[in-house]
A and B are shown apart, each in its own frame.
Chain A
Amino acid sequence: MPDEVSAVRQSIRELLREQHGGDRFVSTVSDSESLRQAGMSSNALVALLVAMEDAFGFEWDDDVHPEALRSIESLADHVVALRG
């Protein structure tokens, strides 16, 4: 499980690198830091969520809790939990 979480976090970082201006943002944001408070726009966050649907093969539930979208850590935990 720890390896899976780590791999998903790394994949999310790759998506962020593609979606959000290269290395500048990804190299400074920690796994647990709020992406929005780190300077990510709502448009960029939604673009990341859409890219995650394609990359990980799922769709976000309508009732997903906002806290799940807070950070790289919480996003990765959500993906791993969906995989069961």
Chain B
Amino acid sequence: MVVEPAVPAHTAAGMRTAWRPVRPPYGPHQQSTAGRRAAAAALAAAGAADRTVPGDPDGRPRFPPGFAGSISHTDRLAVAVVVPGAAAVGVDIECAAISPRVARFVLSERERHTLLPPAGTCTPRELFSAKEAAFKALNGIGTGGHFLFWKIELSQSGDALTAFYGGATVPVWIRSAEDISFAVAIQR
């Protein structure tokens, strides 16, 4: 385990996370392969008989029925999360620094003032990752068709964040180590 958010037991029941390294030369093909390997490992750990994750025409991974899951990768590392019985799951990992300009682009003024220090405790990289994870989960429940991930609004809600878009909400949990941020959104 590299780093994993502390998702409450009632939400994370059966949740399985698997990590796989991206092999040289670290291109899109190798990143995709590492993601599919991570997904197969997470599905196996979750007890799925079918461990293949084909891609939809738009590139989104299609997990077996009953095993909601999601994949994310950087150029060196891939992760997959599977939550049996969940309606949708979204996961994201980020290693790259988020520049102040990019943070202003993806975070609303309210989010910057309430979630970043000194009022909040999140980093721009965690919030970027949270929006990506929420985007995947909200797409998984068919929210709103095509939309841009930074249009999702985040608010603090106890130990988690709540993501809002188009009348739908999903909780998001985040955790960071020095060189990576991990976010997972789970719609039960």
Residues of A bordering B, CB below 8 Å: 34, 36-39, 41-44, 46-47, 49-50, 62, 64-67, 69
Contact = CB atoms under 8 A, between A and B. Distances in A.
Interface residues of B, number: 22
Contact of A38 (B28, B74, B75, B132): B28
Interface stretch (B11-19, B78-86, B147-155, B168-176): B147-155
A39 B128 contact: no
B88 interface: no
B31 interface: yes
Contacts of A41: 74-75, 96
Interface string B33-64: 00000000000000000000000000100000
B76 to A, nearest CB: 12
Given A39-B27, A66-B147, A47 B59 contact: no
B59 A39 contact: no
A20 to B, nearest CB: 11
Nearest to A49: B105
Given A41-B75, A50-B102, A62-B151, 6 more contacts: A34-B59, A42-B149, A43-B128, A50-B99, A64-B148, A65-B146
Contacts of A50: 99, 101-102, 105
Contact of A43 (B27, B31, B102, B148): B102
A51 to B, nearest CB: 9
3 nearest A-B residue pairs (beta carbon): A39-B28, A66-B146, A37-B59
15 contacts: A34-B59, A37-B59, A39-B28, A41-B74, A42-B128, A42-B132, A42-B149, A43-B98, A44-B96, A46-B150, A49-B105, A50-B105, A64-B148, A66-B147, A67-B146
B28 to A, nearest CB: 3
Interface string B84-105: 0000000000101011011001
Given A46-B106, A50-B105, A36 B59 contact: yes
